[in-house]
Structures are given as structure tokens and as C-alpha cells.
Structure 1
Amino acid sequence: MSGSCALKTCWMKLPDFRVISNNLKDRFDGASRVKIGSNIGNARPKARKTKKKNRYDFELLTPNDDYKPPGRKDLVYIERSPTFCEKDPKLGTQGTKGRECNETSIGVDGCDIMC
């Protein structure tokens, strides 16, 4: 008999794509609106050379003190998304006026989702 299995190689394996996408979708659906507050009164946040947990000179604030602050893995947004239902020449969107939808569909072509 020649050779032996004295060495074993292990590596990390990513979860299935479906698991990752579901996790990301859950985070997207639970995203929190925040405001940027400055810790030092400087209008422009800048990175500090430190290994602290919050290495930036700003903090994320909730618009309402009753809300809990976002966690490290939470998705956040600063501005609301524009409504694409109305025409907006500045953004170059045509809106959905006059667009046909499928009344029986629960997909992206359905009337409930369109606006």
C-alpha cells in the first residue's frame, strides 16, 4: 500500500445562493431610515486611524428617539427612494400613467405592485 491520508485540507463553504438572497431580502425589507450625526461637530465625516468599533467621526441617528438604533449588520438608508409612479423629468422617469397591468397577476406585472 502506498500513500496515506495524513493531511486533511479544509475550507469554508458558502451557503446556497437562495439562503444568501433570502437573508439579504429580509434585511432590505427591515432597513431603517437614519440621519447622520457628527460626533465632533464637523460637517464632513472622515475616517480615523483607529481600531475602535466606530472608526468614523459620525454616528447614525434614528429620526425618532423611540426607535432603536440600527445594529452592525442592519441595512440603513438616508433618503427615501423616489416614487417611480409619477412622471419626474428631473430623474428622467416616465411614471406608470397609461401603462397596462395584469389584474390577475401577483407578479411584477400585476396592478397591485405597479402603484
Structure 2
Amino acid sequence: MNRYHVQSQMRQECKCHGMSGSCTVKTCWMRLPTFRVIGDLLKDRFDGASHVTASNTGNNTNTNKAHSNRLPKNPKLNSISSNSIHSKRENRRKQHKYGFQLKPINPEHKPPGTNDLVYYEMSPGFCEKNLKLGIQGTHGRQCNDTSMGVDGCDIMCCGRGYRTQEVAVVERCNCTFHWCCEVKCDVCRTKKTIHSCV
């Protein structure tokens, strides 16, 4: 999926070489898209992924074959059409490649296309600790109370709420470089407000 988006978003760029800006010689190359473009495309695919189930179509292949391989009534044409390379290729196309079809769980959704992202199982919940799956949970995690993103307290704390506390922080500050070759800093003590998930 990643390589598909990188390749599809590559663009040709050219540069002209010549006297007074004339394009007597032109050099062209393919330019890779930025990480932001690829990230946005993958995020859109992820958000629009379809929850599907696999339905076995093996039981219906015989009826489909009988209908698609039906020979003409003229007996002279039977041997010709049954041995036709074109008819065999057409039959292969009509049969599903893997013998099953993907159907959306939600009947109101359209069946996924060849370029759609699908998934069989729901992702595990990351709110609570699950050591079997290597999930540490979000209890005690620091969050940003002003952010609307995934680092925000509303999302990270999974609706459980968060506590706010002031802590004393000791850190280096006012660092200066002295010749040669030493960096001297002061020790500053400040108070910071920290939000952590309940």
C-alpha cells in the first residue's frame, strides 16, 4: 500500500539548459512526494477502511460455470466453441481468482473495490492493559489538555478523565559556550502543570 501511493504520487520535474534561458537541452527526473502527502493519503485510506467478511463462493461456481459455459444449440459449433482459446480465457476471468468474495459487515456499505483497504477483525482496545498483546494501557499517561488530536486528554484517556498537578522541575538553562571548549549552564527550578490520565 505504501509503495503504491509513493509510486502513484511521483511527479516529473524538468530543468532547461541553454543560452539566455532557451530550452535547447532539458533534463527531467521523477520527484518523490513529501512524507506529508503520503501520510495524508494513508490516513484517508485507514479512516475509510471497510470491515468485511469472506464469503465462500465455491458452492456457486458450478451454476456460474454452467451458465457461462453454455454451448450453442448448433452441434457444428459445439466443438469449435468448447475448444476456443477465447472462451476459456473468458471463463477464467468470470471465475473469482481466490474462490471467495469480500462482503462488508454493514449491509449499507458498498462491496470493497480492488484499491480499497479492508480488515477482518476489529483492532484491540488500547485503553486498558493487556500484557498478552503487549498493550500497556493509558493509565498514568501524560496528555495535552488543549489538544484535539490523539495526544489530547479526551482521546488518550478514553473518557476516564485526567488529573492535573503542579510539579517542580529542575533543568539546565541559560547555557553559554566558553572558549574553548566548554558549555556552562545555570540550574533553574520551575513549576510545570502536568495532566495525566486517571
Q: Using structure 1 for the length normalisation, give the TM-score.
A: 0.68
Aligned to 2:70: none
Gaps of 5+ in 1: 1-7, 42-49
Matches of residues 50-89 of structure 1 in structure 2 within 5 Å?
A: 52=93, 54-89=96-131
Moved more, 66-75 or 96-105: 96-105
**CA distance in structure 2 between the aligned counterparts of 1:100 and 1:24, rounded to whole angstroms:** 27
- Quick one: structure 1 residues 57 and 14, their matched pair in 2 at CA, closer, same or farther if it must change by over 3 Å? farther
1:10 offset after TM fit, Å? 7.5
**CA distance in structure 2 between the aligned counterparts of 1:14 and 1:73, rounded to whole angstroms:** 23
Aligned to 1:112, which of 141, 154, 160? 154
Aligned to 1:101: 143
**CA distance in structure 2 between the aligned counterparts of 1:25 and 1:51, rounded to whole angstroms:** 35
Higher helix share: 2
Aligned to 1:4: none
Aligned to 2:33: 16
**CA distance in structure 2 between the aligned counterparts of 1:71 and 1:106, rounded to whole angstroms:** 32
Identity %: 59
Larger Rg: 2
Higher strand share: 2
Q: Using structure 2 for the length normalisation, give the TM-score.
A: 0.43
**CA distance in structure 2 between the aligned counterparts of 1:105 and 1:87, rounded to whole angstroms:** 24
- Do structure 1's residue 25 and structure 2's residue 16 form an aligned pair? no
- Quick one: structure 1 residues 10 and 59, their matched pair in 2 at CA, closer, same or farther if it must change by over 3 Å? farther
**CA distance in structure 2 between the aligned counterparts of 1:26 and 1:51, rounded to whole angstroms:** 34
Gaps of 5+ in 2: 1-25, 60-90, 159-198
Residue identity opposite 1:77 in structure 2 = Y
Give the aligned CA root-mean-square deviation in angstroms. Answer: 2.8
SS of the aligned residue for 1:34 comes to: strand
